[in-house]
């Protein structure tokens, strides 16, 4: 089972006649969720229960996960956009999470199931690299979806290391004009087209781009390391993702060796192995291999 610590879910709100006031619904939901730990049988109390712009966030005393609970109206059925409250604007706004979930599943399946892991890696990168002014998780999802869907970032025959590096490069390329000339970029919702990053502040965007640029440099250096430089490659990836996320291990080293073979290593007549064709002696290129797990 996956150890999921951040769970988002919808609560459908019934109503007759006029729509209820968004602020009233959020307040009522917050009061109800105060009893959630006891209802779930966890004991304790809701440790942090605070209203957010469009949801209520709940953490627990004795459980290592938290919730974002979003109330929603269903004016035209679940196959059509829903309405979610916006506390700051004081109105209900369109959202299509169920349609997005289906579209993401289809995009993931069409790209060798690499899109969802790429989103997870991108979110972890954001969390590790940025202690303040972090872009929201959904913004990152929209960015990955758009770059893969548009073909700006392709998944065919690429390792996750290459894919992640290509994603960062693609984002930098398309955001560079805004960085140079002022303002902040749009991040379109995959389903509705509205700008989900409408409140991205310039200082936070600049910080994001600095972290992006640094990580591209480290990732490109790591990808350029040879088979005799594995320690250096691991150290560089740990700068990108952190030591806990990118922990060194025998399995990691086997995967890296398999990745070098996948890219097409050369074996020199002296027996030396390299990702580059030997310049001073003859060499042969073995067939491609893959890592399928430890032998039992």
CA angle (256, 259, 265) in 5-degree steps: 110
Domain boundary among 231, 246, 261: 246
What are the tokens at 154?
Answer: 């392709």
- Asked whether 13 and 73 are in contact (CB, 8 A), the reply is yes
pLDDT, position 251: 66
7-16, 70-79, 265-274: range with lowest mean pLDDT: 265-274
Domain boundary among 61, 95, 129: 95
Q: Is there a domain that residue 231 lies in? A: yes
Q: Is there a domain that residue 1 lies in? A: no
Q: What is the mean pLDDT of residues 134-163?
A: 95
One domain, residues 38 and 154? no
Q: Of the candidates 64, 66, 71, which has an alpha carbon nearest to the alpha carbon of residue 32?
A: 71
pLDDT surpassing 80 at residue 260 = no
User: In which domain, by residue range, is 286 found?
Assistant: 249-296
Q: Any alpha helices (H) in the chain, and if so which ranges?
A: 22-33, 36-40, 97-110, 115-129, 137-149, 160-181, 202-223, 230-241, 250-263
Query: Mind giving me the DSSP string for 219-260?
Result: HHHHHT--TT-HHHHHHHHHHHH-TTTT---HHHHHHHHHHH
One domain, residues 210 and 191? yes
One domain, residues 223 and 136? yes
What distance in Å separates the CA atoms of residue 253 and residue 104, rounded to the nearest whole number? 32
Domains of the chain: total: 3
What distance in Å separates the CA atoms of residue 2 and residue 105, rounded to the nearest whole number? 18
Which tops the pLDDT comparison, 42 or 80? 80
pLDDT digits (tens, 9 = 90+) for 189-227: 999 999 999 999 999 999 999 999 999 999 999 999 887
Q: Of the candidates 278, 252, 258, 279, which has an alpha carbon nearest to the alpha carbon of residue 267?
A: 278
Domain boundary among 95, 121, 143: 95
Q: Is there a domain that residue 206 lies in? A: yes
What distance in Å separates the CA atoms of residue 8 and residue 58, rounded to the nearest whole number? 10
**Confidence bin at 1 (pLDDT 50/70/90):** very low
pLDDT surpassing 70 at residue 126 = yes
What are the tokens at 269?
Answer: 């007549």
62-76, 151-165, 186-200: range with lowest mean pLDDT: 62-76
pLDDT surpassing 90 at residue 60 = no
């Amino acid at each position: 089972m996956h150890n999921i610590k951040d769970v988002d879910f919808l609560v459908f709100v019934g109503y007759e006649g006029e729509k209820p006031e968004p602020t009233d619904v959020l307040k009522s939901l917050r009061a109800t969720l105060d009893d959630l730990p006891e209802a779930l049988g966890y004991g304790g109390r809701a440790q942090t229960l605070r209203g957010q712009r469009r949801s209520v966030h709940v953490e627990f005393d004795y459980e290592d996960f938290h919730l974002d609970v979003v109330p929603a109206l269903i004016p035209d059925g679940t196959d059509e956009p829903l309405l979610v409250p916006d506390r700051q604007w004081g109105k209900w706004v369109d959202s299509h999470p169920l349609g997005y979930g289906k579209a993401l599943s289809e995009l993931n399946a069409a790209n060798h199931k690499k899109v969802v892991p790429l989103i997870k890696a991108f979110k972890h990168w954001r969390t590790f690299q940025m202690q303040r002014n972090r872009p929201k998780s959904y913004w990152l999802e929209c960015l990955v979806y758009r770059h893969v869907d548009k073909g700006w970032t392709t998944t065919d025959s690429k390792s996750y290391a290459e894919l992640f590096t290509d994603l960062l490069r693609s984002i930098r390329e398309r955001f560079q004009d805004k960085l140079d000339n002022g303002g902040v970029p749009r991040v379109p919702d995959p389903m509705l087209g509205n700008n989900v990053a409408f409140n991205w502040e310039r200082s936070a965007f600049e910080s994001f781009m600095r972290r992006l640029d640094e990580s591209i440099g480290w990732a490109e250096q790591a990808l350029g390391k040879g088979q005799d430089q594995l320690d250096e490659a691991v150290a560089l990836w740990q700068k990108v993702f952190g030591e806990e996320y990118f922990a060194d291990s025998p399995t990691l080293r086997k995967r890296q060796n398999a990745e070098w073979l996948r890219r097409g290593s050369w074996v020199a007549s002296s027996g030396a192995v390299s990702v580059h064709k030997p310049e001073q002696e003859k060499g042969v290129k073995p067939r491609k291999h893959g890592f399928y797990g430890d032998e039992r």
